Amino acid sequence: MSTTPVIAIHGGAGTIAAVASGAPAARPYHDALHAIVAAAQAALLGGASALDATCLAVGMLEDCPLFNAGHGAVFTHDETHELDAAVMNGADLRAGAVAGVSHIRRPVQAARAVMEDGTHVLLGGAGAEAFARAAGLEMVDASYFSTEARRQQLRHALAADRVALDHDSAPLAEGSKFGTVGAVALDQFGHLAAATSTGGMTNKRAGRIGDTPLIGAGTYADDRAAAVSCTGSGEMFMRCVAAYDVCARMRYAGQTLQQAVDAVVLEALPAIDGRGGLIAVDKHGNLSLSFNTSGMYRAHARGAETPHTAIHR
Ligand code: ASP
């Protein structure tokens, strides 16, 4: 008997307080999340693996300028783009990631290629780009990632002299928002996978690498526990090894998915001023989309049910 597939995606967490979920400004976000989760849901129902479905969803999120990954990625302090991405396969703990890349159109595909190659787990900068080029992935001029909205965010951050989370100055968010994108899935074969991609944080120092490409911090998948994709203040997620901590709590402490997620998102992270959230699915199809900010762009779909999108609580 096959498992009922489950897919969940996120487009970042943050304050997102300015506009109610039903307001017109929220519409494009709901529409984009719905279209992307529906595409991944259809793929899963058609027999795609969790790995393929998460990479598909994250690739589409990277192409969407509303979110801080791929086209629409935030600027570093030096007005450049440095993108991070990771993918992990829960069945065999294979993982791949790239960090600080500026010319790979869809960094999640490069992460996938690193994983498939199998020699290394994490490639950075020019070496990662050379690897992606050799793998035949689409390369772009760095200006492809730039949007006027992100340039304005950088100006605001420079004026305020702070390092900002993406949704800090996005249309929906006056306060702060992290715009990383991610996906987790359970496929009909009972396997889990997670993928995450980001432009990082507005006004970050050139060379800064966040939690997203660090296996265990921003991304983790283990069929024995859960698939997890995080968004938030990356430094704190790294210090908590957040994604792995969810899985470890389930495996070693016998916690349920929700107990483990609550312990990380509502206790461990806030204890060190970590803000953000994560999405997670376990092998039974339990889902948790949790955040300690006022909102997180998110969507999920179970089996053939109509997808559900949400921004606030
Ligand atoms: N976690 C990401 C980073 O620190 C930022 C985000 O989630 O928006 O790079």
Give the long-range contacts of residues 255-260, CB within 8 A, separation 24 or more.
256/286, 257/226, 257/281, 257/282, 257/286, 257/287, 257/288, 258/286, 258/288, 260/226
Query: Helix, strand, or coil here: 221?
Result: strand
Q: Are 81 and 75 within 8 A, CB to CB?
A: yes
Q: Tell whether 162 is covered by a domain.
A: yes
Q: Tell whether 271 is covered by a domain.
A: yes
Cα(58) to centroid(ligand 1), Å: 15
- Dist CA 119 CA 126 (whole Å): 17
Atom 7 (ligand 1): residue with closest C-alpha? 231
Question: Domain range for residue 148?
Answer: 6-310
Query: Which atom of ligand 1 lies at the shortest distance from residue 210's CA?
Result: 9
Which two structure tokens, joined as six digits, stand for 3?
Answer: 């498992």
pLDDT on residue 72: 83
Q: Tell whether 1 is covered by a domain.
A: no
CB atoms within 10 A of CB 212: 34
Q: Tell whether 143 is covered by a domain.
A: yes
DSSP annotation of 285 reads -
Contact 212 CB / ligand 1 (< 6 Å): yes
Rama region for 277: left / alpha / beta (φ>0; ψ in -120 to 50; rest): beta
Sign of CA pseudo-dihedral 34, 154, 133, 196? negative
CATH code of 176's domain? 3.60.20.30
Q: Tell whether 125 is covered by a domain.
A: yes
Q: Tell me, what amino acid is at 51? A: L
Number of domains in the chain: 1
- Dist CA 17 CA 46 (whole Å): 38
Angstrom CA distances, 190 to 49, 101, 185, 223, stand at 9, 33, 10, 8
- Dist CA 142 CA 165 (whole Å): 21
Q: Tell whether 106 is covered by a domain.
A: yes
pLDDT on residue 169: 46
DSSP annotation of 268 reads I
pLDDT on residue 17: 58
Contact 231 CB / ligand 1 (< 6 Å): yes
Prediction pTM value: 0.94
Query: Which atom of ligand 1 lies at the shortest distance from residue 218's CA?
Result: 1
Which two structure tokens, joined as six digits, stand for 109?
Answer: 């595909």
pLDDT on residue 68: 87
Cα(113) to centroid(ligand 1), Å: 22
Q: Tell whether 91 is covered by a domain.
A: yes
Q: What are the residues facing 193 on neighbouring strands?
A: 89, 185
Among 61, 98, 212, residue to substitute to test ligand 1 (most atoms within 8 Å of Cβ): 212
| Low-confidence stretches of the chain (pLDDT beneath 70) | 1, 17-22, 164-177
Atom 9 (ligand 1): residue with closest C-alpha? 200
Q: Tell whether 223 is covered by a domain.
A: yes
